[in-house]
Structure formats: structure tokens, C-alpha cells
């Protein structure tokens, strides 16, 4: 914790994300392990241009909102994600301010079911225009949790039969932006008209 008034160090997760072949099979496997009741959320994430890391406004079930900044490496493996999260009461005001000052990169709509296994959040996501995915986030607040996190994620990866080829490096926002840019590039390429 930083002792400077009003400042905190970013929180940390160890996490990874993978494409799912079957959302239903993943739900069954999650229910076998879960240590709490599952939570259903409809989330809209708006990603804004940001000079460092990623910045998004998350709206949950059209009632709650969070402003989230995070930074992590883009690799197809478990990686640390350092983040700041702030609960927002005026989500429309914040949206308009960030849109005007930074500009929107992408917008992601997803139906998320959250399960818990010990201190690990298991996210099963049905993402509009992208498909279905699983994400593990091991909450790391102590050295003991960090030491255990690799083993927890390895266990969950085996339990959910995650194939190394299905691991993802990008955020959903990055994936939507990349798909939009690829589509725009094809539309601009005159050789595609031949």
C-alpha cells in the first residue's frame, strides 16, 4: 500500500482466457466445483483509447457501473493483471466525459456467469459477435495466494479440459477492434473487387 494520501497500489489477479467449444459442458464442470452460488450478469464494456494499459467502463445489468483500468502482458498463458477499479454512480456522465476526451476503441456486450472456486473467479462468457469463452481470475492479495495461484489455474485448466491452442492473448475489446479493422481493410482493398 502506498502511504501517499488517497493513493493505493493496483490490485492483482493471475488470469487467463480461452475459447470454449461447449458452454453447456463448461457450466456442468463449473457447478461440480463451485464454492458459492453462481452469479448471472449482462455486461457492456466500453473500451476507451488509453496511452498505457486498457481503460473500460463496465455497465452491469443496466444498473451498476465500474471504471476499470488494467495492465497485463498479451501472452497465451497465465499472466498477472494489475488493475484499479472504481464504482461509478454517474455512468452516463463518465461515459460522455471519456468519449469526448479519449474516444471509444470498442464496445463489448456479453452474458457472463460467475462461479467461484476457492479464491478463483471462473467466468463463462457468451460474447456478442465473438462466441463463448472461459476466463479464470485468481485473486492475489498475499504471497501465499500468489504461490498457490499457478497450481489452482493448472488444476482448473485440466478440469475444464482447456486446450493450449484455445488460449487467447487479447481482451474482448481488442478482438472486436481487430475484427472491425480487418473488415474495414478488406472493404478498402480494391484487389478484392477483381
pLDDT at position 77 is 81
116 DSSP β-pair partners: 121
Are 130 and 172 contacting, i.e. CB atoms less than 8 angstroms apart? yes
Classify 121 as helix, strand or coil.
Answer: strand
What pLDDT, in 10s, does the model give residues 64-82?
999 999 999 888 888 999 9
C-alpha cell at position 161: 479440459
Superfamily of domain 11-186: Hypothetical Protein Pfu-838710-001 (2.40.320.10)
pLDDT at position 192 is 54
pLDDT at position 128 is 93
pLDDT at position 24 is 97
pLDDT at position 131 is 96
Regions of the chain where pLDDT drops below 50: 1-6, 194
Amino acid at each position: 500500500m502506498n502511504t501517499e494520501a488517497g493513493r493505493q497500489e493496483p490490485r492483482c489477479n493471475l488470469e487467463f482466457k480461452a475459447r470454449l467449444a461447449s458452454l453447456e459442458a463448461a457450466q456442468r464442470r463449473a457447478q461440480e466445483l463451485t464454492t458459492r452460488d453462481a452469479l448471472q450478469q449482462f455486461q457492456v464494456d466500453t473500451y476507451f483509447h488509453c496511452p498505457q494499459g486498457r481503460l473500460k467502463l463496465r455497465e452491469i445489468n443496466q444498473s451498476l457501473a465500474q471504471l476499470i483500468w488494467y495492465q497485463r502482458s498479451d501472452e497465451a498463458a497465465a499472466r498477472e493483471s494489475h488493475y484499479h477499479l472504481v464504482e461509478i454512480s454517474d455512468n452516463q456522465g463518465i461515459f460522455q466525459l471519456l468519449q469526448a476526451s479519449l474516444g471509444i476503441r470498442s464496445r463489448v456486450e456479453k452474458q457472463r456467469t460467475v462461479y467461484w472456486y476457492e479464491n478463483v473467479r471462473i467466468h463463462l462468457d457468451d460474447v456478442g459477435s465473438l462466441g463463448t469463452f472461459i476466463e479464470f481470475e485468481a485473486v492475489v492479495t498475499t504471497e501465499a495466494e500468489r504461490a498457490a495461484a499457478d497450481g489452482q489455474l493448472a488444476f482448473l485448466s485440466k478440469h475444464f479440459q482447456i486446450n493450449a491452442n484455445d488460449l487467447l492473448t487479447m481482451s474482448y475489446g481488442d478482438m472486436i477492434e481487430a475484427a472491425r479493422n480487418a473488415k474495414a481493410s478488406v472493404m478498402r482493398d480494391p484487389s478484392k473487387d477483381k
